[in-house]
Amino acid sequence: MDSIYASSSCTVPHLLRRDTLLLLPRTLNLSASSALQRTKRARRVRISSSAATNGAVSRALQGVTNTALEQLDIERGVCIPFRKYSPEIVRNNVLESRGSTLSLMLRGVEIVWNLGLYWSNLVYDFLVGRDEEVVPYRARQLRNLLCDLGPSFIKAGQVLANRPDIIREDYMNELCILQDDVPSFPNQIAFRIIEEDLGQPLEAVFSKISSETIAAASLGQVYRATLRATGEDVAIKVQRPGIEPIIYRDLFLFRTLASFLNGISIQKLGCNAELIVDEFGEKLLEELDYTLEARNLEDFLENFKNDPTVKIPRVYKQFSGPRVLVMEWIDGIRCTNPQAIKEAGIDVDGFLTIGVSAALRQLLEFGLFHGDPHPGNIFAMRDGRIAYVDFGNVAVLSQQNKQILIDAVVHAVNEDYAEMANDFTRLGFLSPGTDVNPIIPALEAIWQNSAGKGLSDFNFRSVTGKFNQLVYNYPIRIPERFSLVIRSLLTQEGICFTLKPDFKFLEVAYPYVAKRLLTDPNPALRERLIQVLFKDGLFQWKRLENLIVLAKENVAKMSNNPALKVKDTQIQRDLKVERKLDLTDTIKDGARLFFVDEGIRRQLLLALTEDSKLHIEELVDVYRLVEDQIDIPSVAVEVARDLPTVVRDLLLSWSESILSDR
């Protein structure tokens, strides 16, 4: 998947990140090569100190097989006791198969020949001075080449389409087409695979099945069918025939090549090449197991079981297996058809609101989110719900990662760019020990330029475009799970713009985030709320009022399905929905912190007496905002119940301070 790097003195252009030479040249103007060399030396910033780099290189070259996987676990904040992927599993699977040596040799020759021919064309374009003008053609040629080389390269192309740290933007845009434009395999083969996994003829389970594929992807394709026993319409996902040994063989070749590139890739990308291949291989083998996708479906169903705005298809595990997945058919409207959505009586603004809310819940609340929400995987149901399909590509964020993401948002709000840069290291974008000082001005420029425009002009695509330039020019690696986060947000924002060109993503997202900060029971989020409310030691009264207003707005909108022009009262009765902004736990925690934490107590008292005056008016304004949301007697009872715990914590805090003084 990764390829051959050249030294930084190489003048041959390439489409990949600056100062790296992978499979493809980045296009430059030959007549300006000497000037470009000076520009490259001026613009290139070596973030890591030489000592840190040399230490990282020596550690990477020690030959410890699982170092890359261990690093991934540390970054993710998780420990995986059982893996579908490891270098040993791949190697054993390939080398123990009959005729493995010949197969590897033939496949290696095929890859080298095809990619070498493509490379020679790019070098020729550069030498004759037409490299820039043929970029669109060469990008299409690359897409077709990856498709011809098979599923592993199609998936690699899909990954590269979201990796601005590796490949230039014009090629990324072309590779995005690989998401949908994949040829199908014959029905006869697909039906035979279904029968093999079912252990019985198709006719015994399905009364009818579509003669044409509904969708085709790099790993499988989908048919529509009807269950004979119940008459229910279902979707059948079938894996491509013989794909597993092909995937294992290609992963073995990818990692064999990567093992020779660790030293260079650490210098250029901030990580070893094996880590990138391991990250890719781990995700690819997960997608190859449809039993895992069935479990993903069940997890999403559990997460959204009480949400009246989201539809997740039911999975029929009795008819599913490693190569076949049978799930409920979703009869919805494609999200790229705004006219059909309006004709169905769905309010577009309301539908966009529930879509953004569902996406943010996946990311910040559940830590389990759909990694490929392109228009073919998201539908508008006629009852106003948003429906998701295809759960093979999902990503998990640990509690640790979610908290660091929220930290990054808080640091951005408070314009603390030094801590924001450190958050990048904690999330795995930068290798440990990296000097982040050169990145801080770039982050500040990106955020201030984007946030300065206000909500009316802010969009993720413009921010991502600037961020792409940052990661392209610095040794920053985008971890796989965060490339999925970025793709997910960009894709869903694009769907929003298709339905409503003047849609303001943050105007919908802010109310949800405000509600989470004010009401989430996680103590870590309480700490982030305090950080948001204090800036430079001063309490931000206006910010608190805005948070409350936005949170109330979110609760009011989501208490019913905002996409329904005619409300379905039965749905609202059957499902539990929030009617008020529940601040009980927040008030309890605030009272506890006031009594127990001397620092917080001092800050709050100073907030009430800033500028040599009592801020009673501000306090009254805040109370008026929440008085209709709070049941005072209930809150008083809860605080009273919590009083013994508060007294205990107060005594412990007091005794600790006495002991520390001694």
Q: How far apart are CA 27 and CA 127, in angstroms?
A: 10
Buried b (16+ CB within 10 A) or exposed e, 395-404: bebbebbbbb
Reading the block at residue 351, the tokens are 């539908």
Reading the block at residue 402, the tokens are 């979610």
Query: In this structure, what DSSP letter does residue 642 have?
Result: T
Decide: 198 and 322 in contact? Cβ < 8 Å: no
CA 466 to chain centre: 18
Decide: 129 and 30 in contact? Cβ < 8 Å: yes
Reading the block at residue 403, the tokens are 């908290």
Tell me which residues are annotated as active site.
372
Each as own residue / partner, the long-range contacts of residues 185-188 (CB below 8 Å, 24 or more positions apart, any chain) are 185/221, 185/240, 185/241, 187/211, 187/213
Ramachandran assignment for 290, one of left (phi > 0), alpha (psi -120 to 50 degrees), beta (any other):
alpha
Reading the block at residue 157, the tokens are 């192309």
List the one residue out of 167, 162, 176 whose CA is nearest residue 464. Answer: 162
Q: Is 36 exposed, middle or buried (0-12, 13-18, 19+ CB in 10 A)?
A: middle
191 to 185, 210, 238, 240: CA distances (angstroms) = 11, 11, 8, 11
Write down the residue that tokens 């990764």 correspond to.
Answer: 2
Q: Is 561 exposed, middle or buried (0-12, 13-18, 19+ CB in 10 A)?
A: buried
Query: In this structure, what DSSP letter does residue 318 have?
Result: G
| Residues contacting 429, CB < 8 A, separation 6+ | 471, 476, 477, 478, 479, 482
- Which amino acid type is present at position 62? Q
Q: How far apart are CA 104 and CA 253, in angstroms?
A: 8
| Residues contacting 54, CB < 8 A, separation 6+ | none
Q: How far apart are CA 621 and CA 624, in angstroms?
A: 5
Q: Is 174 exposed, middle or buried (0-12, 13-18, 19+ CB in 10 A)?
A: buried
Q: How far apart are CA 350 and CA 189, in angstroms?
A: 43
Query: In this structure, what DSSP letter does residue 363 have?
Result: I
Q: How far apart are CA 407 and CA 593, in angstroms?
A: 20
List the one residue out of 234, 226, 247 whose CA is nearest residue 289. Answer: 247
Q: How far apart are CA 407 and CA 404, in angstroms?
A: 5
